[in-house]
C-alpha cells in the first residue's frame, strides 16, 4: 500500500519518526499544507529533505486552487481570485476569462515547480448549487457544465504547460452535497442521470489530457450506500468503464469524517474500490496507516 500513499507531514521540518518512515517505507508522495509552509526557502528545503529519504521521483502535491483554498502566504499564491470570480468574468467576456485563468494557472504552476512540487490538487470541477453546502461555494467556476469545463480546461492547460500535473476534483461532483465532508458524511439525493450529466466536465478534461482525478466523500443515495471514494460503482464502473479514465484515481483525504473514523480501514476500502492514490493528510492518520502496514 505504501506505493499508493501520499502523506502529510507534521510541521516545517521532518520529525525523526517521519524520516524513518520515509526511508524505510517510502510513499508515492507527500502533500503540504499551511502548517508545512513558512517561507519559499523552507518549503524547498523540506521537499529536498523528503527526497533525500525517498528518492528524487517522489511526488509533492498541494492544494493551491486560488481564493480561500491557499496554503502558502506569499505571492503568487496568496492573492489569487476565487474560481467564481472567473465565472463572473466569463459571463461578460468568455475569451478574457479563459485567458485570465490560463495565465493565473501558468504563473502558479511555474512557482510551484520552482519550489519542488509536481502536482496541484486543482481544478475544482464541481458545479455550484445555491442549495449545496458552502464548502464548495466560490471554489466552483459556475453552475453550468460548459462554463465549468471551459474554465477548468484553461486551468489544467496552464498548470500542465508549467510542468505541474493537475488533479481534477471531486468526482462525480460535490456541489449538491448537504454537508462538509471534512466533518460529516454528505449526501446527494439527485437521480443518477442528473449526477452523470453534471459530471460532464470530468469527461471533457479527461478527453483533453487530465491524468489525475480525485473522488468525493459523498453518498449518492440514488445509486449506492457508500461514499464515492470507497464505491466500486463510482470508481470502477462509472469513472473507469463508463468515462474511460485510464489515469490515476486519487481518494480525497482519508482522515476526513466523510469516509469514517478508521483511516487504515478507509484506505483498504478505497484501494478495493479502485483508487490507486491514497491521500492521508493528517499526522495522526499517517501514524495509524504506517503502524498498520
220 neighbors 192 (Cβ within 8 angstroms): yes
Side by side, the strands of the sheet bearing 168-171 are 168-171, 212-215, 248-250
Domains of the chain with CATH codes: 175-293 (3.20.20.300)
Query: Which of the residues 63, 104, 126, 252 is marked catalytic?
Result: 252
Told to judge if 252 belongs to the known catalytic residues of this protein, a careful annotator would answer yes
In this prediction, residue 30 has a pLDDT band, given cuts at 50, 70 and 90, of very high
Q: What pLDDT score was predicted for residue 180?
A: 85
pLDDT for residue 120 is more than 90: yes
Model confidence, pTM = 0.97
Told to judge if 126 belongs to the known catalytic residues of this protein, a careful annotator would answer no
CA angle 116, 119, 123 (to 5 degrees): 135
Residues sharing a CB contact under 8 Å with residue 101, sequence separation 6 or more, in sequence order: 86, 151, 154, 155, 158
Q: What pLDDT score was predicted for residue 292?
A: 94
Mean pLDDT of the chain: 97
> Which one-letter DSSP state was computed for residue 55?
-
pLDDT for residue 109 is more than 90: yes
Q: What pLDDT score was predicted for residue 100?
A: 98
Query: Which of the residues 85, 144, 180, 182 is marked catalytic?
Result: 182
Provide the pairing of β-strand 168-171 with 212-215: parallel
Amino acid at each position: 500500500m505504501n506505493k499508493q500513499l501520499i502523506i502529510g507531514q507534521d510541521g516545517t521540518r521532518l520529525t525523526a519518526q517521519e524520516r524513518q518512515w520515509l526511508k524505510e517505507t517510502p510513499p508515492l508522495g507527500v502533500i503540504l499544507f499551511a502548517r508545512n509552509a513558512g517561507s519559499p526557502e523552507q518549503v524547498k528545503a523540506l521537499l529536498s529533505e523528503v527526497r533525500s529519504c525517498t528518492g528524487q521521483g517522489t511526488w509533492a502535491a498541494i492544494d493551491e486552487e486560488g481564493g480561500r483554498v491557499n496554503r502558502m502566504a506569499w505571492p503568487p499564491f496568496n492573492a489569487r481570485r476565487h474560481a467564481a470570480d472567473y465565472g463572473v468574468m466569463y459571463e461578460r467576456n468568455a475569451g478574457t476569462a479563459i485567458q485570465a485563468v490560463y495565465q493565473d494557472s501558468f504563473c502558479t504552476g511555474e512557482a510551484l515547480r520552482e519550489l519542488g512540487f509536481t502536482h496541484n490538487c486543482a481544478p475544482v470541477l464541481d458545479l455550484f448549487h445555491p442549495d449545496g453546502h458552502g464548502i464548495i461555494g466560490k471554489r466552483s467556476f459556475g453552475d453550468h457544465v460548459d462554463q465549468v469545463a471551459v474554465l477548468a480546461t484553461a486551468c489544467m492547460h496552464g498548470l500542465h504547460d508549467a510542468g505541474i500535473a493537475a488533479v481534477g476534483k471531486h468526482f462525480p461532483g460535490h456541489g449538491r452535497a448537504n454537508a462538509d465532508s471534512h466533518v460529516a458524511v454528505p449526501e446527494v439525493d439527485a437521480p443518477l442521470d442528473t449526477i452523470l450529466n453534471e459530471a460532464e466536465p470530468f469527461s471533457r478534461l479527461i478527453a483533453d489530457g487530465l491524468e489525475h482525478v480525485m473522488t468525493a466523500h459523498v453518498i449518492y443515495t440514488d445509486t449506492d450506500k457508500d461514499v464515492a471514494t470507497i464505491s466500486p460503482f463510482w470508481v470502477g464502473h462509472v469513472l473507469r468503464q463508463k468515462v474511460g479514465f485510464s489515469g490515476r484515481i486519487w481518494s480525497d483525504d482519508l482522515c476526513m469524517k466523510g469516509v469514517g473514523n478508521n483511516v487504515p480501514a478507509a484506505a483498504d476500502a478505497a484501494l478495493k474500490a479502485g483508487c490507486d492514490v491514497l491521500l492521508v493528510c493528517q499526522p495522526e492518520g499517517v501514524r495509524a496507516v504506517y503502524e498498520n502496514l
